[in-house]
Amino acid sequence: MDEISLRNKTILVTGGQGFLGSHVVVLLQKESPKAIISPSSKEYDLRSQTVCEELMKKVKPDIVIHLAANVGGIGYNREFPGLLFYDNLTMGVHVMHEAWKAKVKKFVAIGTICAYPKFTPVPFKEAYLWNGYPEETNAPYGLAKKMLLVQSQAYRTQYGFNSIFLLPVNLYGPGDNFDNKSSHVIPALIKKFVTAKEKKESKVTVWGTGAPTREFLYVEDGALAIVLATKRYNKPEPVNLGSSFELSIHELAHQIGDVVGFQGTIEFDVTKPDGQPRRKLDVSRADEEFDFKSSTSFEVGLKRTVEWYKKEFRIQNLKRHDIL
């Protein structure tokens, strides 16, 4: 396995201050790069081609890891399909095109499992990506991000541009987004259960039937996979990043309730949408190509996330309110 050294490289991490990005940056720092640049959207709004061009000219990166995206859970996807399509498509197209123009040596594009067809046979293999339309609520986001794969392969074919495309499954862990409007299922449930316990409520209501299954990858494992692929993977084929672990939303809710110590009842609101029926990845390609296997058990990852929410998240929030 040929390996690119990150030592003395200038690495641009778009979205590097976000949930996944901040964990990627921590790992990259251990590789002794020359510089890691991760601007916020206020500094550089990457939906603009001119802004992307300016950023590449200023930073002159050797490597770009493109994590910036507009993302959210099922409610957010339902409310803002147009915005999610536009933001993610324009960001991807411009960032990659300007990186190619700036002669970047390696480009790492991050896709999403939401790009898979709604009824993909389990476990999802990368070869099934084009076998159908994604689940409707995810489609604008998932397809916009899937164009990064098409662009990546087209630029490799025509220009020899070394761009790779990785598909992480649902991530969770310390630093996750706990915003009521845009959070994903794990932080949304943790917040609900912690609040219910503190307010001594007897019932928690969970969206949907509880039947759909999901796979979750601990964010530090996801960040490690991205760093390993940046160093070791240089092929056009997409690669799944997951933990190969599937559990239903029903089991998830009960597990979170147990970790939080909630003793009331859990109800499922069947009037709310379920999203994709099943999600579980075939993760063999990541193992074969760049020796990645997730190592954090769900029990350990979940406990760390709940602890982080109860301590760090609240401290950060208090500080934010003090400043305001």
Please give the residues from 181 up to 220 whose contact with ligand NAP meets the rule CB under 6 A: 184
Based on the number of CB atoms within 10 Å of its own CB, is 190 exposed (0-12), middle (13-18) or buried (19 or more)?
A: buried
Site track for ligand NAP across 84-113, x = CB under 6 A: ---x---x------------------x-x-
Site track for ligand NAP across 38-77, x = CB under 6 A: --xx--xxxx-------------------xxxxx------
Minimal CA–CA distance to 291: which of 217, 229, 243? Answer: 229
3-state secondary structure of 38: coil
Which CB sits closer to ligand NAP, 175 or 208?
175
Q: What is the C-alpha to C-alpha distance for residues 168 and 126, in angstroms, rounded to an integer?
A: 12
Q: What is the C-alpha to C-alpha distance for residues 147 and 88, in angstroms, rounded to an integer?
A: 9
Q: How many CB atoms lie within 10 A of CB 86?
A: 15
Q: Which stretch binds ligand NAP (CB under 6 A): 17-25, 78-86, 129-137, 268-276?
A: 17-25
Q: Do 140 and 296 meet the contact criterion of CB atoms below 8 Å apart?
A: no
Site track for ligand NAP across 140-159, x = CB under 6 A: -----x--------------
Q: Are strands 203-207 and 163-168 parallel, antiparallel or unpaired?
A: unpaired
Q: Which stretch binds ligand NAP (CB under 6 A): 37-45, 127-135, 263-271, 313-321?
A: 37-45
- Taking the complex as a whole, the smallest distance from the CB of residue 18 to ligand NAP amounts, in Å, to 2
What is the helix (H) or strand (E) element at residue 213, kind and residue range?
A: strand 213-218
Cis peptide before 238 (omega within 30 of 0): no
- Taking the complex as a whole, the smallest distance from the CB of residue 160 to ligand NAP amounts, in Å, to 25
Query: Does 17 contact ligand NAP by CB under 6 A?
Result: yes
Q: Which two tokens mark 241?
A: 């990043």
Q: Is 141 a catalytic residue?
A: yes
138 is in an annotated binding site: no
From the list 44, 76, 116, 141, the catalytic residue is 141
Q: Which stretch binds ligand NAP (CB under 6 A): 154-162, 163-171, 192-200, 243-251?
A: 163-171
3-state secondary structure of 11: strand
Binding residues for NADP(+): 15-21, 145, 168-171, 184
Question: Which residues form the catalytic set?
Answer: 141
